Structure 1
């Protein structure tokens, strides 16, 4: 099954593609969008739910999103039109690392998408490049709540190398950023996210038994559920930081 189609189906009932409740998202946005007329940029926006919520909450904001998934961006355009914010949203179909702009942004987001740059440090460098003086970066990254065993590390290891929470914050500070707010995802948020991910995918498969991808979707949901319950549950954490720089 195509990975992007799988992700779209799995996030059907949890459009924020990270273990964050709606109330947590709202608090983070309130600490990031402080004037109400900011220009926001999401690097690796996916379904662009963060941007859509910014535009809904603040009628004077403008937003741009960058992602390599053209089908997802098409869905974002439809959703933006449905919510009445399409005229304030620009979308770019390209790798985030290739995006350039003649203007800077007041808020730069990358939540659960640091893999687009190969890690947190590289993502912070990209945020710095696009950020206007006095702006805020909103960055969400995984970390190890406890040391994973070899099987969990082999399952989850990818282009990004994760640290524990103190080490993650140390990296941010050493790179010249100051956290002005943060939210560490709770076990309840993790549970809601994982049960929604696996449940939405399984539900779709059960509702569409004749689809060629149905069997793969059910298998993926089962494998993901097992990997969470018997592997990284309570081991993998997630922190979303609101950051400023002393030199901006």
Structure 2
């Protein structure tokens, strides 16, 4: 099983694909689209859940999403039809880091997708290219809550602590206008959902390679979470505006 398929199954019950509950998502979107008639772009949209929720809540909003997974985009199209918002959603099968849009956007979203750009600074650089004057960026990425083990750094990457993360963001010319640090409940709920959804999918399948690989992936992820990074890794979501220009 390839990584994209495993991720798609694991996020089936947590479609925002980040450690955020429904209230946190709603508040972040409220700060991201203060008027309700904005044009929104999601770079690395996956199944499009951020856009689908925004479109459902704001009937004058228009949205576009970019992702490399054709299967995830097909899921997004089907969900948009089901929720009655397909007429205001455009989806692009492309590399989010290289995507070139013909117009600018009032809100650019990239939550939990910084790995596709090579980290948070290049994610913000990509968002800046698509941002209309006065627009906002909604971004979410990890940070170290406590000094991590070498194993955790090797597994997840070389994040900074929260204060340093924000200092780097502001030094890059951004001003936070809203933020949310995921709670322990949100972080644990996300991990239980990830591992549980994948394990349940596997247990509902007959014996075979897919079943074995999915169970092994769920078990490995659970062990890494509990043994390696549960006590050191956090997640911050920010709504940003350009400080000048």
The TM tier, using the shorter chain, reads over 0.9
TM score, norm. by length of structure 2: 0.98
Partner of 2:36: 36
Q: Note the alpha carbon deviations across 1:11-41, whole angstroms, 9 max, x for none.
A: 1111010100011000100111111110000
Partner of 1:47: 47
Work out whether 1:179 is the aligned partner of 2:176.
Answer: yes
Residues 1:211 and 1:82: Cα distance change in structure 2 (over 3 Å): farther
Work out whether 1:62 is the aligned partner of 2:59.
Answer: no
TM score, norm. by length of structure 1: 0.96
Work out whether 1:205 is the aligned partner of 2:202.
Answer: yes
Partner of 1:243: 240
Number of residue equivalences: 245
Partner of 1:141: 141
Distance in 2 (alpha carbons) for counterparts of 1:104 and 1:86:
20
Ranges of 4+ aligned residues in structure 1 off by more than 4 Å:
none
Please list every run of 5 or more consecutive structure 1 residues that lacks an aligned counterpart in the other structure.
none
Which region of structure 1 is more displaced relative to structure 2, 67-76 or 144-153? 144-153
Distance in 1 (alpha carbons) for counterparts of 2:119 and 2:164:
14
SS in 2 for 1:142: strand
Deviation at 1:117, TM superposition (A): 1.2
Distance in 2 (alpha carbons) for counterparts of 1:243 and 1:151:
32
SS in 2 for 1:224: helix
Distance in 1 (alpha carbons) for counterparts of 2:31 and 2:152:
34
Equivalent residues of 1:77, 1:86 under 8 A apart: yes
CA RMSD of aligned residues (A): 1.0
Work out whether 1:12 is the aligned partner of 2:12.
Answer: yes
Which region of structure 1 is more displaced relative to structure 2, 114-123 or 48-57? 114-123
